[in-house]
Amino acid sequence: MKVNKAVFPAAGLGTRFLPITKAIPKEMLPLVDKPLIQYGVEECIESGIHDIIIVTGRGKTAIEDHFDRSIELETVLEEKGKYDLLRAIKKISNLTNFSYTRQKESLGLGHAILCARNLISGEPFAVVLGDDIIDSKVPVMKQMINVYKTYRYTVLAVQRVKREEVSRYGIIQGKEIDKGFYKVEDLIEKPEPDEAPSNLAIIGRYILTPRIFDFLNVAKPGKGGEIQITDAIKALLSKQPVYALEFEGNRYDCGNKLEFLKAQITFSLKNEDLREGLLKFIKELDLVRIYN
Ligand code: G1P
């Protein structure tokens, strides 16, 4: 069965970015001129996924407004003859199909995915964590779907991380069956470096089979007292194979301030209108004056 749907868990409080996230959803923080979540949505569309399910929570209506039409704005832009902007605005609301559901309580990533169950209707589906922005030649989701087409079971995106960083991620233990492609043997959520079975970390892209809901439905709180998707995938391992793909691309954890800034610089340097001015600014940066 084709992967037609992608779930975007977007109910988190964004505490790492307070105070900006007090009234603005972290998914709406700009990366150059688009909100973070739009990058993940566009990645899905470029990968052939056209049904986007966003799991929101209280205070997140800006996400729905962003992907909806804004008749008032369209009218004003039309009257003023600002046709380029009008096209850009209309393009967003015509991107694809969006559905929304709410996670009423912050009970963890696994619980957020479970909230989308009724909208999935027994199909394989993708999960995209919008904080993980991946700059790659071939969209990461497309790389994963290409593998899924052969194996037809769960596929996780993984990346090697420094040993001291393993406690920030779900970590897999796997047998390499092709270059950068693993059959998963075990998983553990956010282990300490001395208990991690490898340094292969799960990054925010998953293709899951609907069987995962059987395990999410009965999952007990795990690390941090939250219902973890990693634990449910570990339970799934006893019934179905799970694979992991070391994808091609540079990943920025935009839930982290420094990484978010690095992403701003990289994506600005890729933008023809900004590149020259930004390079000039960087070259001329007067560090002495800034520090004093
Ligand atoms: C979540 C998952 C973790 C995964 C990570 C990727 O953690 O629980 O397994 O490695 O996303 O970004 P979070 O970053 O939400 O704490």
- Reported as a single tens digit per residue, the pLDDT across 16-74 is 999 999 999 999 999 999 999 999 999 999 999 999 999 999 989 999 999 999 999 99
Taking the C-alpha atoms of residue 250 and residue 147, their distance in angstroms, rounded to an integer, is 19
pLDDT at 14 over 90: no
- The residue whose CB lies within 8 Å of the most ligand 1 atoms, and thus the one to mutate among 16, 26, 113, 129, is 129
In this prediction, residue 285 has a pLDDT band, given cuts at 50, 70 and 90, of confident
Give the mean pLDDT of 253-275: 95
CA 87 – ligand 1 centroid, Å: 36
Q: pLDDT category, 172, cuts 50, 70, 90?
A: very high
Q: Say what the pTM is.
A: 0.95
Q: Is the CB of 203 under 6 A from ligand 1?
A: yes
**Residue 286 above 90 pLDDT?**
no
CB 265 within 8 A of CB 148: no
DSSP annotation of 280: H
Kindly state the percentage of the chain with pLDDT values over 70: 100
- Per cent of the chain over pLDDT 90 is 92
Q: Which of 1, 275, 3 is nearest to 139 (CA)?
A: 3
Mean pLDDT on 202-230: 96
- Which domains are seen in the chain, by residue range? 5-255 (3.90.550.10)
Residue 49 near residue 123, CB atoms below 8 Å:
no
- For the cut 80, the answer to whether the pLDDT of residue 245 exceeds it is yes
Q: pLDDT class for 119, splitting at 50, 70, 90?
A: very high
In the chain, at which residue ranges do the beta strands (DSSP E only) sit? 5-9, 30-31, 34-35, 51-56, 97-102, 125-128, 132-135, 154-160, 170-178, 181-189, 200-208, 242-246, 250-253
Mean of the pLDDT values across residues 172-194? 97
CB of 31 sitting under 6 A from ligand 1: no
What the block records as the tokens of 38 is 């739009």
CA–centroid distance, residue 202 to ligand 1 (Å): 7
Ligand 1 centroid–CA 10 distance in Å is 13
The pLDDT value given to residue 93: 87
Cα 203 from Cα 191, distance rounded (Å): 15
Structure tokens at 202: 């799960």
pLDDT of residue 272: 95
Residue 158 above 80 pLDDT?
yes
Residue-level pLDDT at 290: 76
- Determine contact, residues 168/256, Cβ cutoff 8 Å: no
The closest-lying atom of ligand 1 relative to the alpha carbon of residue 189 is 9
- In this prediction, residues 110-138 reach a mean pLDDT of 96
276 touches 145 (CB < 8 A) = no
Q: What is the pLDDT of residue 287?
A: 76
Cβ(233) – ligand 1 distance below 6 Å: no
Output the CA torsion sign for 205, 197, 251, 143. negative
